[in-house]
C-alpha cells in the first residue's frame, strides 16, 4: 500500500474512533455512569455500535476481499474493535506490530504523519479512566503485603456440574496443590485460551502435583453453556457473590479491559479468524471483572498470586511452576 493510501486509511480510522468516542461521551452524561457502563458498553448491544461495524465493513470492501466482513458481522464486539480491524485490513496487515513497522518505515510521508498525530490525540484511554473513577470501580492491585496469605477455605461455592454446595476445603489435601483460575465473563476468549493452554500442558501440572480448579462468578445456566462450548475437563465452581474475587483483590475496570492497546490486540484475533465467543442473550455478564491465577498448598496457604491487570494478562505456566 502506498503512503498516501495508508494515511487515508488511518484518517478514516481516527474519524471513526472520534465518532464512537463522542457518542460514548454524550451517552455517559445522559444518566448514571453505572447504567451507561452496564447498558451501553455491551457486546449484546446492536444499535449504534452495530452501525459502526457496518461502516468498518465498507472499508474492508475497498481494501481486501469480503471474507473478513462475515467474521466481523458474526463477532458482536465493541464498536471500536471494528474500527481497529478496518485499520488492519486497509493496511493489509494482521498484527498491530506489522502496522507499526509500516508507519515507522514511512516516517517521511507528511500525510501519514498528520494522521498519526491525529491518532495520538484521540483521548480514548482518558475517557475510560474517567468512567472508572466516576463509577468507583476497584482497579488498584493489592500491594504484596496486602495479598492473601491463606485462602478462605470455608467460602461457600457451588459445583457447576452437580449443583451441589461445596467449599474449597473439600479440594484441599491429598498432597495436591490447587491452581485456582478465576475467570472473567464466560464469553472471555482470553480466559478460554489460557485454560486450553493449561490443558495442553496437563502433564507438566501433573508432574508438580497441581490440580486446576476454575472459578466463575457466573450463573448455572451460563456455566452449563460454557462447559458445553469449551469441553473443559476441569472442576468449575461458581462464586456468584464474588467472595473469592474480593478476597484475592480482583476488581473491575472499563479502562483495563477496553484500553486502546487492548482493542488493537483484540482486533488481531478477529483479523486472524479467531472468533470471540457469544454470551447467552438472556444472561447478563460483567465484561469488566478482572481475573487471576492463584496456587494454594494442601493446607490452603497461597504459594503463587497473579492478579490480572487486563484480559490479556495471564501468567505463563513456567512462572507458576517456578513459584512452587
Best-predicted range by mean pLDDT (22-31, 38-47, 192-201):
192-201
> Over the chain, what is the mean pLDDT?
78
> What does R_g of the chain's alpha carbons equal in angstroms?
21
Give the neighbor-by-neighbor strand order of the sheet with 177-182. 165-167, 156-159, 235-238, 210-216, 177-182, 292-296, 302-307
- State yes or no: pLDDT of 11 exceeds 60: yes
- Sign (positive or negative) of CA dihedral 35, 313, 278, 276: positive
Residues 6+ apart with CB under 8 A from 151: 168, 180, 244, 247, 294, 296, 300, 301, 302
Under the banding of pLDDT at 50, 70 and 90, the label for residue 24 is confident
pLDDT above 90 coverage of the chain, percent: 48
- State yes or no: pLDDT of 45 exceeds 80: no
Under the banding of pLDDT at 50, 70 and 90, the label for residue 122 is low
What's the CA gap between 116 and 110, in Å, rounded? Answer: 10
What's the CA gap between 194 and 181, in Å, rounded? Answer: 9
For residue 190, report the phi and psi dihedrals to the nearest 5 degrees. -65, -35
Residues 6+ apart with CB under 8 A from 42: 287
Taking the model in full, what pTM does it have? 0.80
Inter-residue contact 23 to 48 (CB < 8 Å): yes
Best-predicted range by mean pLDDT (61-75, 108-122, 279-293):
279-293
- State yes or no: pLDDT of 47 exceeds 60: no
Average pLDDT of 291-316? Answer: 95
What's the CA gap between 258 and 126, in Å, rounded? Answer: 11
DSSP 109-157: -HHHHHHHHHHHT--HHHHHHHHHHHHT---PPPPGGGS-SB--TT-EE
- Over the stretch 125-166, which tens digit does the pLDDT of each residue have? 888 899 999 998 865 555 555 678 899 999 999 999 999 999
Q: Which of 233, 253, 229, 244 is nearest to 313 (CA)?
A: 253
- Over the stretch 279-288, which tens digit does the pLDDT of each residue have? 787 888 898 9
- Over the stretch 231-271, which tens digit does the pLDDT of each residue have? 999 999 999 999 999 999 999 998 998 887 777 677 667 66
Best-predicted range by mean pLDDT (6-20, 54-68, 162-176):
162-176
Q: Report the pLDDT value the prediction gives residue 287, as an integer from 0 to 100.
A: 86
Q: Report the pLDDT value the prediction gives residue 283, as an integer from 0 to 100.
A: 83
- State yes or no: pLDDT of 29 exceeds 80: yes
Average pLDDT of 179-207? Answer: 96
Q: Torsion-angle region of residue 90: left (phi > 0), alpha (psi -120 to 50) or beta?
A: alpha
Say how many Å lie between the first and final Cα of the chain, rounded. Answer: 50
Q: Report the pLDDT value the prediction gives residue 59, as an integer from 0 to 100.
A: 39
Burial code (b: 16+ CB inside 10 Å, e: under 16) for 116-145 equals bebbeebebeebbbbbbeebebebebeeee
Q: Dig out the grid coordinates for 67 from the structure.
A: 471474507
Amino acid at each position: 500500500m502506498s503512503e498516501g493510501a495508508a494515511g487515508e486509511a488511518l484518517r478514516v480510522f481516527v474519524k471513526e474512533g472520534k465518532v464512537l468516542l463522542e457518542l460514548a461521551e454524550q451517552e455517559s452524561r445522559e444518566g448514571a455512569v453505572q447504567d451507561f457502563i452496564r447498558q451501553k458498553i455491551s457486546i449484546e448491544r446492536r444499535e449504534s455500535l452495530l452501525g459502526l461495524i457496518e461502516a468498518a465493513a465498507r472499508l474492508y470492501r475497498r481494501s481486501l476481499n469480503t471474507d473478513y466482513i462475515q467474521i466481523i458481522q458474526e463477532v458482536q464486539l465493541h464498536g471500536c474493535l471494528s474500527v481497529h480491524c478496518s485499520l488492519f485490513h486497509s493496511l493489509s496487515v494482521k498484527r498491530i506490530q506489522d502496522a507499526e513497522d509500516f508507519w515507522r518505515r514511512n516516517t517521511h510521508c507528511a500525510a501519514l504523519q498528520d494522521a498519526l498525530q491525529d491518532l495520538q490525540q484521540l483521548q480514548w484511554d482518558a475517557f475510560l479512566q474517567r468512567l472508572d473513577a466516576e463509577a468507583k470501580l476497584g482497579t488498584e492491585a493489592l500491594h504484596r503485603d496486602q495479598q492473601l496469605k491463606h485462602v478462605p477455605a470455608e467460602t461457600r461455592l457451588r459445583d457447576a456440574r452437580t449443583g451441589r454446595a461445596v467449599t474449597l476445603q473439600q479440594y484441599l489435601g491429598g498432597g495436591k496443590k490447587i491452581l485456582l483460575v478465576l475467570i472473567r465473563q464466560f464469553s472471555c476468549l482470553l480466559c478460554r485460551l489460557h485454560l486450553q493452554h493449561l490443558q495442553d500442558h496437563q502433564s507438566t501440572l501433573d508432574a508438580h502435583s497441581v490440580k486446576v480448579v476454575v472459578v466463575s462468578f457466573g450463573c448455572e445456566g451460563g456455566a452449563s453453556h460454557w462447559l458445553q462450548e469449551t469441553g473443559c475437563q476441569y472442576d468449575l465452581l461458581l462464586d456468584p457473590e464474588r467472595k473469592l474475587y474480593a478476597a484475592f483483590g480482583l476488581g473491575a475496570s472499563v479502562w483495563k479491559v477496553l484500553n486502546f492497546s487492548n482493542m488493537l490486540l483484540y482486533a488481531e484475533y478477529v483479523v486472524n479468524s479467531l472468533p470471540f465467543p457469544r454470551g447467552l442473550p438472556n444472561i447478563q455478564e460483567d465484561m469488566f471483572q478482572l481475573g487471576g491465577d492463584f496456587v494454594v498448598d494442601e493446607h490452603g496457604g497461597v504459594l503463587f498470586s497473579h492478579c490480572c491487570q487486563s484480559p490479556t494478562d495471564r501468567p505463563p505456566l513456567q512462572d507458576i511452576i517456578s513459584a512452587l
